[in-house]
Chain A
Amino acid sequence: MFWTIVGKEIRTNVVSSRFIILSSLCIGLFIITAFSLFQEMRLSHEEYDSNVTSHKEAVTNEPSLVSLAAVSGVKVDRRPEPLSFIAKGIEAARSRIYRVTSYDVTPIGGSDLERNPISSLSGPLDLLYLFQVVLSLLAFLLVCDALSGEKESGTLKLLISHNVPRHTILLGKFFGNYITLLIPLLISVLAVGVIMSFYSFHSFSADDWKRIAMMLALAAIYLAVVLEAGLLVSSVTKSPPLSFLVSIVVWVVLVIAIPRLAFHLGATVAPPPSVAVLQNRMRAITNEADVKAFTEIRKYMEKNGHPPSRQWLEELSSRVMAENNAKKAKLQQEFQNRLTRTFRVSGILSRLSPSASYAFAMQGMAGTGFNDDSRFGRALAKFKDRFAQYMEMRIKGMSSDAEANLPQLGKKLNLTGIPTFNYQRASFADAVGNIGLDLLMLLLFIVFFFLAAYLSFLRYDAR
């Protein structure tokens, strides 16, 4: 009985003009988007490689160690996450290049939005958008009149008179429509895979493939949630036009309104810190440290009538830098705490929508989520400390002040042993652990929508 209904659903769906039109649209959008995305990915990777080379070269051309440590610093390039074409996440808004000096880390631009301002008009492009918006709309429209349509055509009454239990009808409809939906999904994924093979921007590792498999599984789970929600709509409406209208409203609320509004509401309840304010305060701390150091040197000279010794200056420098670093670390931590709070509040609100949970989970697997961004920030802070230690050690080891301070014209700096920035995203297991809550939310949504649809269908007037 169950498989008979599943088979009927698939056969009626695949020949329906609604399914053919919507699926073609969906597949077409995936193909067009894939071309555009992979072109963009290739350019990003080329730009990254080129930047890494030129930034490495620029460091050795620095005139002195002091200017390198205090002013120019080293440039750290943020590598585009290889799976960001699936879910761009927070990466789109983040700087691609950071200047790291012994005192601080400063983003110096190159974000996707800066590189391509037009994308800010439409929002960043990724495959998540298509999964989240286009496929979910296809699912809603496919299933919205699954029950009300049968009622209108009189076949629901006939099904019940043929002794089919209601839960069998509901499950059969769910699985029939689900299998139908997997057809455009798989064709789209296959088409994206073929297009990707023409763009060699990255050779995927085993970890990447595991993540891709997980993201496909998440897409399948998300589709199940949306289908259940569509079935729920169908089980509370009596006619196909009404089902269609209610479906559109529910889709807009769940997929568009809640995920977007929740972030604005979250930012109102727990305002995020301003990056500009943070940078100004960082600069103020550096200036304060400079003033303090010069004041102490002046006092020393006034008191002793001669310049301080090299050892005295090194001790002063170490002390002032330690205070400076401690203040900045505290400030950074406050900034991060406020940002985390904003994200948490927004996350709680937006998880009222399965669409938001799905987006968070996908970004987590792509390495472009909020947790990954924080992880990158921590890695950058650690690198800054290592860089500062190295520079301090090198400057102390110089035979004279002149060697450290004066430009070494025509001579490249010897930077043997200078630390390099190597960022590793979270392991696959950690990434799965990080998306645990969102995965759980999606599974709960499946259970909730199915039970609600079932209870509603038990009371459904089949006449």
Chain B
Amino acid sequence: MLKIDELVKRYEDGILAVDRLNLTVEPGEIFVMLGANGAGKTTTVNLIFNLIQPSGGTIKIKGVDVAKNPLEARKYAAFVSEDVRLYGSFSPRQNLDFFARLSGRRRTSKQYDQVLHEVGLPEDSFRKRVSDFSKGMRQRLGIAVGILKDAELIVLDEPTSGLDPKGGREFLALLADLRSRGKAIFMTTHDIFRARKIADRVGIMSYGRLILNIDRSEFAETDLEQIYLKYIEEQSTDVERISRAPKLDGWGGLSQ
């Protein structure tokens, strides 16, 4: 569903944000990208939606090249961002209706309510103005907007950052449900604990490079937290050291 080949993004100021990134996310798979701030996760998301132009490489969504045909490619992808405020003067239903109309999938109020229930918003909030919502509630609504698009690929950028433990648990259940419906899910996060619970595959990004890309069978038996922390610490030194880092035993080695 999502195929990234040799993706490179170098900004005008010379910073290399994404360096030869290769990955694939299949239908019914959850890929979680971990990484420190500035590792290149959000840049990757922006490249997936062609909000910025790549310096090299290709991204294909359902076989459509994003850079060449962004409007066609975006049809197959939904986006949930870290801190979307949506339209504050609208109710959740009105927000859903607006975005559903944009994607040509207008539903009934009942169906909107159903999606809002799915993401765990309390019923008494359905008619309230979104400007009165907490960050967590807005986050859930953002997810509802993404779900409603009914796209085959769902891209989530730090979606769990505003969720409390209960909300987080419900969110994971929601992702599992979407996976069971055959959706391909690409998620970036700092939250290694939730990543471990839900991911089918985990990648660690550092200085624009995907330095680790392992599946559930591999990370289930390893101390993912320790590896992650090690690379977060490494990032605070310099990229040369990371590129020269030794392969760790036991889980398939590092992707350079």
Stretch at the interface among B32-40, B45-53, B239-247: B45-53
The answer, yes or no, to whether B30 is at the interface (CB within 8 Å) is: no
Given that A162-B74, A163-B71 are known contacts, is A157 also in contact with B81, CB under 8 Å in the complex? yes
Residues of B close to A463: CB separation below 8 A: 42, 46, 51-52
Residues of A close to B51: CB separation below 8 A: 157, 160, 461-463
Tell me if A155 and B49 are in contact (CB < 8 A).
no
Residue of A nearest to B50 (CB): A160
Q: Which of B71, B86, B89, B149 contacts A155 (CB 8 A)?
A: B86
Q: Which of A11, A16, A154, A461 contacts B84 (CB 8 A)?
A: A154
Q: How many residues of B contact A (CB 8 A)?
A: 29
For the complex, what is the distance from the CA of A78 to the CA of B131, rounded to whole Å? Answer: 59
Given that A11-B90, A463-B52 are known contacts, is A155 also in contact with B102, CB under 8 Å in the complex? no
Residues of B close to A164: CB separation below 8 A: 102
For the complex, what is the distance from the CA of A397 to the CA of B89, rounded to whole Å? Answer: 85
Tell me if A11 and B101 are in contact (CB < 8 A).
no
Q: Which of B49, B52, B83, B89 contacts A16 (CB 8 A)?
A: B89
Residues of B close to A161: CB separation below 8 A: 49, 74, 77-79
The answer, yes or no, to whether B251 is at the interface (CB within 8 Å) is: no
Residues of B close to A154: CB separation below 8 A: 81, 83-86
Given that A15-B89, A462-B51 are known contacts, is A159 also in contact with B102, CB under 8 Å in the complex? yes
How many A-B residue pairs lie within 8 Å, measured between CB atoms?
70
Residue of A nearest to B129 (CB): A15
For the complex, what is the distance from the CA of A155 to the CA of B99, rounded to whole Å? Answer: 10
Residue of B nearest to A462 (CB): B51
Given that A11-B89, A160-B51 are known contacts, is A4 also in contact with B81, CB under 8 Å in the complex? no
Residues of A close to B94: CB separation below 8 A: 11
For the complex, what is the distance from the CA of A11 to the CA of B87, rounded to whole Å? Answer: 10
Within 8 A of B (CB), among A1-19: 1, 4-5, 8, 11-12, 15-16
How close is A162's CB to chain B, nearest CB, in angstroms? 4
Q: Which of B42, B71, B90, B99 contacts A158 (CB 8 A)?
A: B99
How close is A164's CB to chain B, nearest CB, in angstroms? 6
Complex A-B: 9 CB contacts under 8 Å: A1-B101, A4-B101, A11-B94, A154-B81, A157-B81, A158-B142, A160-B74, A461-B51, A463-B52
Other A-B pairs beyond A153-B84, A161-B74, A162-B103, 6, CB < 8 Å: A8-B87, A12-B87, A157-B49, A157-B51, A161-B78, A163-B102
